[in-house]
A and B are shown apart, each in its own frame.
Chain A
Amino acid sequence: MSVLVYIESAEGKFKKSGFEAVSYAKAVANQLNTNLVALSIGNVADDDLKALGNYGANKVLTVNQENLKSFVNQAYAAIISEVVKKENCEIVVLSNSFSCKGLAPRIAVKLQAGLVDGAISLPNLADGKFVVKNNVFSSKAIAFVEITSPIKILALMPNAFKLVETSEQALVETFDYQTNESDFTALIKEIVKASDKISLPDAEIVVSAGRGLKGPENWGMIEELAALLGAAVACSKPVSDAHWRPHEEHVGQTGITVSPNLYIAIGISGAIQHIAGVSSSKIIVVINKDADAPFFKVADYGIVGDAFEVVPKLIAAVKAFKS
């Protein structure tokens, strides 16, 4: 029995959340005293496949076929399930990304395997059980979820587990797989990249702004601060509703849920729906001119002040810090 980790790639490159999944899967394999098999689907270069050993993979399987270059959840679920059977795996780890949310449940059904989505802890194996924690009720609570099936699937929350470098020598092998035409009924018409900006769900730092900015023309300083910090840009719901910023940047209950190491909220009062989408951030900084803004109640650090005065000072301070 082994642990299997699936590492997502886009345009031939692995994603950071995928490396986190490998490190996490290695820790699970160590707990169970077993080896780690990594699986890549798509056209990833050999050197990159071999480099998965640096995060603990003992063996790397690759499926590289023309019709699998882009993510197709039905076909990918079929491949992963097949690898689980051939390699005699008991645990499957993947990241809880947008694509994997459409993938992991399909694997769960194929393998009759219990799935914990957004796992935030290693399994607790006490008393012969297998229990993993995840966030529920929009991060107002944490659930201890026992998986009762023989095969178990863990979808790791982004930024919940640190990359751990090791020095395994990974053996790379091609996994032969005959795809099934019926798994390709959903056709990809086009993939539209919003920009080269840092993707919000994966970001380690997020700079977010709200109505306190007064209008879309004032976002320049937010983008400048984000660029300096290597952060993604986000906004509150009223801002995207007013079309000051695109919906893709809206974080909160009905938008994107983020879990960065640092969330900086500028001119956002902190409605409960917004906080629901950001409360699993490790550190929250709030900048607001209203000292009574509810956001300060869930913040680690705060500055009471006008965004138009504080943000330029913050930009200067970050520049000084970076040099």
Chain B
Amino acid sequence: MINKIVDNIEQALEGVESNMTFMFGGFGLSGIPENAIASLSQKEIFGLTCISNNAGVDDFGLGLLLQRKQIKKMISSYVGENAEFERQMLSGELEVDLIPQGSLAERCRAAGAGIPAFFTPAGYGTEVALGKEVREYNGKPHILETALTADFAFVKAWKGDTAGNLIFKGTARNFNPLMAMAGKITVAEVEELVPAGELDPNQIHTPGIFVQRIFQGEKYEKRIEQRTVRIKE
């Protein structure tokens, strides 16, 4: 077994520098690497390019890095719900690249799978297609999208083992397995870290080969963005 465990979050984040590109798993606030984000927001690193489906809310998730103006460029599919983000974007302080969600997912997956580019119908005829090669397949136009990589990918899983194998829970899986594949260094934080051999190999979602460092997060707030309930009749 190749041991992926690091002693603490400092070791997990070793090597992060200004002007790097980071990926962050999560959809909304679900499945975001809370501990890594909190720790990065304490560091003197700036000029970051961040690839994440969303940009957190004002005081949680990537909103913490935005508040300290650590992010230079954001690559996302949806960035509502964040007033500071909107302010920085409209004032031009923050560069924003909005891309279709499925293309974002596939661009991460492609990078991890050694596929440099692919054609997709999503975005054809829109602003997203500007400057991109168009080809017709099966009578339908498609645009060329390229793979996305990052210096570090920060992902969060429910359970993990010392070999770096990961199991996700619910819809907290989302972009995490894909970004784990795409990072040059993938740092996984988990709610529960167990010795290798304790997870059933049949149940593992992300094989440890995609993970370079793993640690158990100190605590998880797991904030709910839209609490919706129904009334018991």
A binds B: no
Q: Give A residues with C-beta under 8 Å from B.
A: none
- Residues on B lying within 8 angstroms of A by beta carbon are none
